[in-house]
Amino acid sequence: MIIDSHTHYAHARYDKEIPYLCPADGEYSIGRADRESLISEMRKSGITGFIEPSIGFDTIEKQLELVKSHENFMWSALGVHPTRCIHTSWKKRKKLLEYAKKYSVVAIGETGLDYHLTRREQRRFWQKIWFTYQIKLADKLKLPLVLHVRGADADALKILKRYKNRLHGGVVHCFGGNYECAKEYIALGFAIGIGGKLLAGDSEATELSDTVKKAPLYSLLLETDAPFVFPDIKGLKCGSNQRKKLCNSSLILPLVLQKIAFLRGEDKKTVEDIIYENTLRVFNLQGNESETRLRKK
């Protein structure tokens, strides 16, 4: 059983039928579906749920409506993404608390720091202000954090260490760093989100493979960041227009799981069960439908 720990199925791309990535005989193929059809396909394929962090206020309402439609299969995290917070009024921060109190959410995020833009565009001061606020909000609600950290691990870790006594765990989403960096997050109680980057076939995938081999298995989660963060699909036969519209999907996760087991030299089923239990633990999902199914095995 697999829970995708980071998705964006509330994204407008899924409002209509789209080409999506799925595995076929160890390779990749393209399916076509809208959001509901794709979620139905995920259920049939052994995906037992997904966690949907918000990136800003524009998709939260749709996200929360989706949760109502897919209770005990979809869970929501609420936050303002670092590249969105710099364009979001500081006055709106209280809306996060209102939403989180009104609705059942499993985490705060995604939040963090993102330095991939030019220094002028980054507006680091406001990113850090919003990040700190969301750390404090998660502490107030006793919730884990979903971290988005891109090119900013040193600053993110400095802030997290400052508030280490107010942290309640969480996950470093779409981790792409080395093991030394991963160890610092794990020491603070965070899991490491592993997805399409592990199957990307570039230097970053090589470094991530080393991290996966060395990290404790209890610290790993599976994720896709759908519709983003593709594995290596250079050999996929499709037209350029279709490739531009292609969306990632949770259906690739069995291949990510297989790669993790291979790198670690461990039994795939054992790895699957432990990562599944990790996800339940990190997001405090005890008592839901997924855990009930696990215990009946």
Across all residues in the chain, what is the average pLDDT? 92
Q: How far apart are CA 260 and CA 262, in angstroms?
A: 5
Tell me the pLDDT tens digit for each residue of 258-284: 999 999 999 999 999 999 999 999 999
The DSSP element (H or E) to which 221 belongs, if any, is: strand 220-222
What are the angstrom distances between the C-alpha of 135 and each of 145, 164, 169? 7, 10, 11
| Length of the chain (residues) | 297
Taking residues 141-152, what's their average pLDDT? 97
The answer to whether 196 and 30 are in contact (CB under 8 A) is: no
Find the domain containing 216 and state its range. Answer: 2-296
Confidence (pTM): 0.94
- pLDDT value for 286: 67
Number of domains in the chain: 1
The answer to whether 233 and 196 are in contact (CB under 8 A) is: no
The answer to whether residue 294 scores a pLDDT higher than 50 is no
* CATH assignment of the domain containing 92: 3.20.20.140
The DSSP element (H or E) to which 207 belongs, if any, is: helix 203-214
